[in-house]
Amino acid sequence: MVKQKIVVIGNGMVGHHFLEQLANRPERELFDVLVFCAEPRPAYDRVHLSEYFGGRTADDLAMGKVEQYREWGYDLRLNDAAVSIDRENKIVTSASGASAAYDHLVLATGSYPFVPPIPGHKHDKCFVYRTIEDLDNIQAAAKDGKVGVVVGGGLLGLEAANALKQLGLEAHVVEFAPGLMSVQLDEGGSKLLREKIQALGVTVHTSTATELIEEVDGRRLRMNFKGDKSLDTDLIVFSAGIRPEDSLAKSAGIELGERGGIVVDNHCRTSDKNIYAIGECALFNNFIFGLVAPGYTMARTAVSLLCGEAAEFNGADMSTKLKLLGVEVGSIGDAHGRAEGSAAITFVDEQTGVYKRMITDREGKKLRGAVLVGDTGDYDTLLQYHLNDMDLPEHPEQLILPALDGAAPALGADALPDTATICSCHNVSKGDIVGAVQGGCCSLGEVKDCTKASTGCGGCAALLKNVVDTELAALGVEVNNDLCPHFPYTRQEIFHMVQVEEIKTFDELLHRHGTGKGCEICKPTAASIFASLWNEHIHNKPHVGLQDTNDTFMANMQKNGTYSVVPRIAGGEITPDKLIVLGQVAKKYDLYTKITGGQRIDLFGARLEELPEIWRELTDAGFETGHAYGKSLRTVKSCVGSTWCRFGVQDSVGMALTVENRYKGLRSPHKIKMAVSGCTRECAEAQSKDIGVIATENGWNLYVCGNGGMRPRHADLFATDLDDVTLIKYIDRVLMFYVRTADKLQRTSVWMENLEGGLDYLREVVIEDKLGICDELERQMGNVVGTYQCEWKTAINDPEMLKRFRQFVNTDEKDEKIVFVEERKQRRPATEEEIVKIAEPA
């Protein structure tokens, strides 16, 4: 079969969408595809370009990846602009001299920024705002500057102003017209937007025409405005609108519009039937669509037609919702009310800075347009009325008036027809979303993955969630906090039952309050509760089958089934003799050795059957288990404190030892980490811990409920200048209150955030004893502290407990499938490829 050749010129967002859509079709196989891209990188998200200065990298913004294109089988030519089209022979030639024959040519050349021909506009401190390279150049120029000016007060201009602000410049916007965003906003909306933006520190100059740009003092620029005014600046960014990039089409003799733009019909075809034009380079009905969603629709139209399906592009809605410098702005349909017979309803709140205006037909039945500034909460609802041509409610003004009783007549997802477009970027209708939910998607994330809804501009996120939630509710899916299918209770409820009824075993608990046989959620939870309350050895017979693997073997299972061993090194303080023992043990068992983040030493690669021997040697040397395997206190990190440090004001190591030795072994809903710093310099990083203690001149400051990890949270200052006794008392109470009331696997941070009343409530309970339970909390903690045993020490002296540490119950052979290799003079698990190599020598 001879494949047809498609050549795509341009790899912006729309060009990428075309290629992505094509890749996902079975007809993809019918074509050879070659792409010319003038930029050095494949398509990226230009809509969110200003976030480049907010910390997003070029990688974050990337849409097309070179590998992805390779996988799709596309021939992507980066950094190689197409320079001519030979329509007669159907050949495209590029800047590098490459030529490519085509059967179908797709022009997705996009647009270029319009730079008004002001004398001096070519100065090297004048920029445009279009590509990542432009941003890099602006960033470089901003380094030594103080002031930046954007010429153009439209949507992109304000985005650019935001970017300048993020670069630390004093930002100005110079606009020729009397208002900002004059395309999308009416006078009232534009006026409020201006006020808000000025309040954010951006100076706005409207009705201002620049006549000359000249260099002054050899490095700065002076903008001379009509009427004698001027403004000195370090750089200028032009963002005064876009012009279709049509030069290539023009030189090939393809029909253009009077003021530029490649003329296309409703099939996105140009005057040459073998050539399509899509996106901002295309002129449909004498209109350039400067938004991404219509460009995507054009791309899909072209793909459908190439695949032999019927499809049409009949224009697109230009409604838009966005945040400009943090100000919410929305514009729907005929925002200016220019159509004949329009009526308007306006709501203005000067106090909070909100402007909303609806344009209806004369009868107030249909919504023709709207402008929202300062609050776009009603945008989704209004847009749906507009797009679906729905009849407005009897009192349409209620759609934009603030709801006094909190019950805004928001358009429920129920009221929308299935044909309603929810996500216009990816053309996803309500019906598509309902279908996805009914097809098995159970969460917002799954629906997004499945339909791509809300993965474009993200403007429909709230509405999408509403539709998904409504549909899930309709299917009877509800959120519940039951521990698991075997216990219709929360962890807290189960804790109380166990405590009040003095339940000691899982069988008893299951028999009294649960159903079935238990699972890996309820069993370890119950084991943890038993340990918090009764503190029996986790290997006591009734508890053996309840423990997660790591608790069972009192070590941390690694990827190849071996374990790591972490002895307790309280406060990070260790004698040379003990260090030597660790070294000897590690050497003897050939264990990979690493210092942990919690000031301990982790020994990796112990085989199951080696654990008891290793621990016998460690306990003989005075080590105890470090509970690295448990949901329990891990470590108390400390700095060296006043003993050695010239800045230390208290003995932080001493306090760390006291705290660690007190709470070691405490089983809790999740792991707990603590730290003690000897002065305010905070070298122990106590504020990133569940319990953080920082020394003051007068005692200790207590911080609670912080954590590092996946979702870091700074701890909150809970109490100040505590003496030793009060400090311990408060920690006792906080911890035990947490152990009693937290949900399964809930860290202290989330627990505290979910407490009604939060930190203040916790203070009331712990400091003021609001619930009258402090004595009990302390007694309970005293009980745990008093019944502490080193689990390993007990285990190695109990042959029954050691039974499970045999690799095989019927032989002393080793697990031969565990294979190590050496790296940096230590062992590590062999990779799969290495194992194959070792097993089958060439």
Q: Provide the binding-site residues for another protein, judged by CB under 8 A.
A: 485-486, 507, 516-521, 523-524, 541, 544-550, 552-553, 557, 559-561, 608, 803-804, 806-811, 813, 815, 817-818, 832
Encoding tokens for residue 764?
């009331």
Spatial CB neighbours of 205, under 8 Å, sequence gap ≥ 6: 172, 173, 174, 175, 225, 231
Q: CB of residue 542 vs another protein: minimum separation in angstroms?
A: 8
How is the beta sheet containing 203-205 ordered, strand by strand?
126-128, 235-238, 147-151, 170-174, 203-205
Q: CB of residue 779 vs another protein: minimum separation in angstroms?
A: 32
| Cα(258)–Cα(249) distance, integer angstroms | 14
Closer by beta carbon to another protein, 201 or else 439: 439
Closer by beta carbon to another protein, 515 or else 584: 515
Q: CB of residue 833 vs another protein: minimum separation in angstroms?
A: 12
Q: CB of residue 53 vs another protein: minimum separation in angstroms?
A: 40
Closer by beta carbon to another protein, 552 or else 625: 552
Closer by beta carbon to another protein, 23 or else 818: 818
Q: What phi and psi, each to the nearest 5 degrees, are found at residue 354? A: -125, 135
| Cα(18)–Cα(299) distance, integer angstroms | 5
Q: CB of residue 832 vs another protein: minimum separation in angstroms?
A: 6
Closer by beta carbon to another protein, 681 or else 803: 803
| Cα(86)–Cα(80) distance, integer angstroms | 17
Q: How many residues does the chain have?
A: 842
At 277 the three-state DSSP class reads strand
Q: CB of residue 95 vs another protein: minimum separation in angstroms?
A: 50
Q: What one-character-per-residue DSSP string does 113-172 give?
A: E-----TTTTSTTEEE-SSHHHHHHHHHHHTT-SEEEEE--SHHHHHHHHHHHHTT-EEE
Q: What is the dihedral of CA 249, 253, 254, 259, to 10 degrees?
A: 80
Q: CB of residue 497 vs another protein: minimum separation in angstroms?
A: 20
Q: Is 453 left (phi over 0), alpha (psi -120 to 50) or beta?
A: beta
User: For residues 491 and 482, is the Cβ–Cβ distance under 8 A?
Assistant: no
Q: CB of residue 504 vs another protein: minimum separation in angstroms?
A: 15
Closer by beta carbon to another protein, 397 or else 609: 609
Q: CB of residue 383 vs another protein: minimum separation in angstroms?
A: 40
Q: CB of residue 629 vs another protein: minimum separation in angstroms?
A: 11
Closer by beta carbon to another protein, 310 or else 809: 809
- The rounded radius of gyration (Å) of the Cα atoms in the chain is 34
DSSP state letter for 402: P
Closer by beta carbon to another protein, 196 or else 667: 667
DSSP state letter for 435: H
Q: Is 64 left (phi over 0), alpha (psi -120 to 50) or beta?
A: beta
Q: CB of residue 136 vs another protein: minimum separation in angstroms?
A: 42
Closer by beta carbon to another protein, 486 or else 631: 486
Spatial CB neighbours of 703, under 8 Å, sequence gap ≥ 6: 686, 687, 689, 691, 692, 693, 694, 715, 716, 717, 718
| Cα(45)–Cα(653) distance, integer angstroms | 51
Closer by beta carbon to another protein, 343 or else 835: 835
Closer by beta carbon to another protein, 377 or else 561: 561
| Cα(123)–Cα(235) distance, integer angstroms | 9
